Amino acid sequence: MSKARILIVEDEEAIANMIAMNLKVSDYDTRIYNDGKEAAEGIYSDHAFDLAVLDVMLPGLDGFALLDIVKKYNIPVIFLTAKDDIASKVLGLKGGAEDYIVKPFEMLELMVRIEKVLERFQKNNHIISVAGLEIDKEKHTVSRNGKAIELKPMEFELLCVLAQNKNVAISREKLLSMVWGTDFYGETRTVDVHIGQLRKKLDLHDNIKTVSKLGYRLEE
């Protein structure tokens, strides 16, 4: 299974490197440019990207101008920028961007939005392989060595979130929101119970780590 390639154009090197590092942990390939003009020149020779994360305020060429170039190669775009005025948001979204995220941002939220855009463009394989398991998001099945393992619906959803954010620590509150929804009024204890079931049913005691005073992380 080929890795999705993601283009990052961000003039703040610390932010660009942080995004790239988190994407690499989640098994994506990345290419970073810190200058809009250099990015445009680079895209002409290498445009085999599945998604682009663009800043708006860039040296050389701004993100809006870069969007027009990226669109020619059918690369979906997520804007990640400090420009939080309505006019800029409208310009970006009407210009063809799939999403517009304002800084400061949560890395986990960006990862989820990237995943959703990739899914919409059918460039994110529906099969996830992690810790000896094969997770089929379309069929809602989990198997190990060809043998199916039965999970309840919310156990499956929780496993998918952990697997899609492999090696990333996620708080109980965030898991509750991502799996059960923002309108769910249950306690974080619900997450603990379902984590216990996943560990038991899937023999993931060594893979699903408890992160002290925070939540959980699926390691491989």
- Domain ranges in the chain are 5-120, 127-218
DSSP-derived secondary structure letter, 2: P
Give residue-wise pLDDT tens across range 19-51. 999 999 888 999 999 999 999 999 988 888 999
Portion of the chain with pLDDT greater than 90, in percent: 69
Taking alpha carbons only, the member of 37, 38, 6, 36 closest to residue 20 is 6
Residue of 164, 157, 154, 167 lying closest to 127 (CA atoms): 164
pLDDT exceeds cutoff 50 at 1: no
* Nearest Cα residue to 62 out of 41, 39, 46: 39
With b meaning 16 or more CB within 10 Å and e meaning fewer, what string describes 34-73?
A: bebeebbeebeeebebbbbbbbbebebbbbbebbebbeee
pLDDT digits (tens, 9 = 90+) for 172-195: 988 988 888 766 666 788 999 999
Query: CA-CA distance, 73 to 65, in Å (whole number)?
Result: 14
Q: Please give the CATH topology (third level) of the domain spanning 127-218.
A: Arc Repressor Mutant, subunit A (1.10.10)
Phi, psi of 177 (to 5 degrees): -70, -45
CATH superfamily of 5-120: Response regulator (3.40.50.2300)
pTM of the model: 0.65
pLDDT digits (tens, 9 = 90+) for 47-104: 889 999 999 999 999 999 999 999 888 899 999 999 999 999 999 999 999 999 999 9
Q: CA separation (Å) from 23 to 31, 73, 88, 154, 166?
A: 11, 22, 26, 25, 10
Banded model confidence at residue 166, pLDDT cuts 50, 70, 90:
confident
Give the whole-angstrom CA distance, residue 183 versus residue 166: 25
**Neighbour tally for 173: CB within 10 Å:** 12
CA dihedral 141, 144, 150, 153 (to 10 degrees): -40
pLDDT, one tens digit per residue, over 101-159 is 999 999 999 999 998 898 888 655 678 888 899 998 888 999 998 899 999 999 999 99
